[in-house]
Structure 1
Amino acid sequence: VLKLFVRRIERSGINVVGAHEIVPELVAAEGALTKAMPRKSDWRDIEAAHTAAKAIGALDIGQAAVAIGGRAIALEGVEGTDGLLDRTRQLRDHGRLAGRTRGVLVKCAKPGQELRADLPSIGPQTVEAAHAAGLAGIAIEAGRSLVLEGPTVVARANALGLFVIGLPAAEPMHGD
């Protein structure tokens, strides 16, 4: 839908520019953004959540997933990332994730996504919600995601002991 909307705007003579082109300093870098680093078990969670996020993205459902213990336990839908993290917190609070610690949020662009109109993003609220959900960290797609209020995100994640990392992008940065 966003691709069609952007194309229609461009046909009327308006050049559509993505946020990543206007404020490139918001684009997530590859590698560790925080002091904390993923453990070996976190990398299994990152892989599981990344696979799940790409799968739901291909179906145009969402951009994020949470994995704990090497398997995806929650997927983003219409409620967005805040709702996904709140649901994860509730699952933990109600004992549905008993004995399971840590876990990771992965957020990435949908395959073929129109990046000029809807880049995945995280901000301070994402860090707070991930911490409240009992997660160990956040992984985002480098070069294809935004980190809003970057210094605040890094400082707060460091204070809470969460890692934030930029994963290598699966696709180059351009709108289709």
Structure 2
Amino acid sequence: MSHLFRLGVILVVVWLLLSGIYEPLMLSFGALSILISLWLTKRMLRIDQEQFTFFVTISLVKFLAQLFYKVIVSNYDVTLRVLGIRPVESTFITIEVPFDNDVARVLYANAITLTPGSASIALSDHTLLVHTISEQGAQDLAQGDILNIMPKQYQVKTLENSNE
């Protein structure tokens, strides 16, 4: 319950700062939207039996920073392909999704989709169909380009990691 309270306080502060309108009607709309958001959040936290909480950790900040870097690099690559400097090599690849947690699987698929030049098409329990606009992008994904930056709580032991 304290997570919902903190989230509510954050939503109120952000809403007040961004709206800039403090008339009673607008404040009531804001309060209603925040209550609906909190109710939906409470329901979503109960969908998964693990009561997943997504609060800022060092590994999450590191993941977001690395993902942002990959988005910038991929954006540059896509720009070169759109301008015709590099060829477009449209390809589909099926990659293994080594997570048992639904949240980790969705986070992984969304991280792939957020990087320009790749899109997650179909996600099943342990496989993900991805479309990329380059062979190199497909190879990078197959070698764990995005998998290796996933937050620590979702890291899986691979043969390379288990020898360390």
Both structures adopt the same fold (TM-score exceeding 0.5): no
Q: Which has the higher contact order (CA 8 A, sep 6+)?
A: 1
Task: Name the TM-score, length of structure 1 as normaliser.
Answer: 0.25
More strand by share: 1
More helix by share: 2
